Amino acid sequence: MRKLKNNELDRLSIKAFKDIEKTPIIIVLDNIRSLNNIGSVFRTSDAFLVEKIYLCGITATPPHKDIHKTALGSTDTVDWEHAENTLDVIEKLKTENVKICAIEQAENATMLNTFKPRPNSKYALVFGNEVKGVAQDVVSASDTVIEIPQFGTKHSLNISVSCGVVVWDVFSKLSTNLK
C-alpha cells in the first residue's frame, strides 16, 4: 500500500467547492475562545461540505493568522457569518425550518450513536464555549440535545474534536455526497 500524494487526492478547486451541493448541516459556534479551535472547525466543515458556519458572540472571525494556521485555507471555501447573539441565530434558523441540535451534556439528551437525522431535513449543530459549553438559553431553545457518549474520567472533549466526531457521524448517517 502506498500513500497518495497531494496531487492524487482529487481535491476540489475553490470554485468547484462553492458550486457543489452542500451537506444539509450548519455549524453554530457559541462563544468559542480558541482561534485554533475555530480554524479546525472550518477545516472539518470543508471536509464534509458543511453549508455554513455562524460565528457567534466572542468567536473570532477570519482573517486571523491563528485561525488560518489550522483552517489551511478553508475560510475561503466554507461560507460563514458573524452574529453578536447566538440565540438570534437559533431563532432565525428555526424560521427556516432548520432543526437545532445543541451538542451538550444535558438531561434527556439523545446519545449521538442513537441520533437518527431525518432525510430532507437541515440541521444546525451548536457547539459551545470551551469552559461553559453551550449557553443554557441556547440549549433551552434547541429542538434536541445530542451528547457524545464518553466512558473515561474526563467526560469532556475539545470543541474541535467534538465537531469532527459529530459532523462525521451526521454526515455519514445522511449519506450525502459519500463516494
How many domains are there within the chain?
A: 1
Q: Is 132 helix (H, G, I), strand (E, B) or coil?
A: coil
Please report, for residues 34, 107, 108, the alpha-carbon distance to residue 130 in angstroms, rounded to integers and kept in the order given: 8, 20, 22
Whether 43 maps to a domain, the answer reads yes
Which residues are paired to 111 by β-bridges? 147
Q: Is 15 helix (H, G, I), strand (E, B) or coil?
A: helix
Whether 3 maps to a domain, the answer reads no
Q: So what's the pLDDT on residue 83?
A: 98
Q: Are 138 and 145 in contact (CB under 8 A)?
A: no
Tell me which residue range forms the domain holding 64: 15-174
Whether 50 maps to a domain, the answer reads yes
Question: d(Cα 96, Cα 60) in Å, to the nearest integer?
Answer: 25
Please report, for residues 5, 28, 46, 69, 81, the alpha-carbon distance to residue 85 in angstroms, rounded to integers and kept in the order given: 43, 11, 24, 26, 12
Grid cell digits, residue 109: 439528551
Cell 451534556, located at residue: 105
Block mean pLDDT (10 aa), the chain, length 179: 93 94 97 98 98 98 96 97 98 98 97 95 97 97 98 94 98 70
Domain with residue 78: its CATH number is: 3.40.1280.10
Whether 100 maps to a domain, the answer reads yes
Q: Is 131 helix (H, G, I), strand (E, B) or coil?
A: coil
pLDDT tens for 13-46 read: 999 999 999 999 999 999 999 999 999 999 999 9
Q: Are 43 and 14 in contact (CB under 8 A)?
A: no
Whether 146 maps to a domain, the answer reads yes
Whether 97 maps to a domain, the answer reads yes
pTM: 0.95
Task: Please choose, from the candidates 45, 55, 37, 28, the residue with its C-alpha nearest in 3D space to the C-alpha of residue 143.
Answer: 28
Backbone phi, psi, residue 175, to 5°:
50, 40
Q: Is 54 helix (H, G, I), strand (E, B) or coil?
A: strand
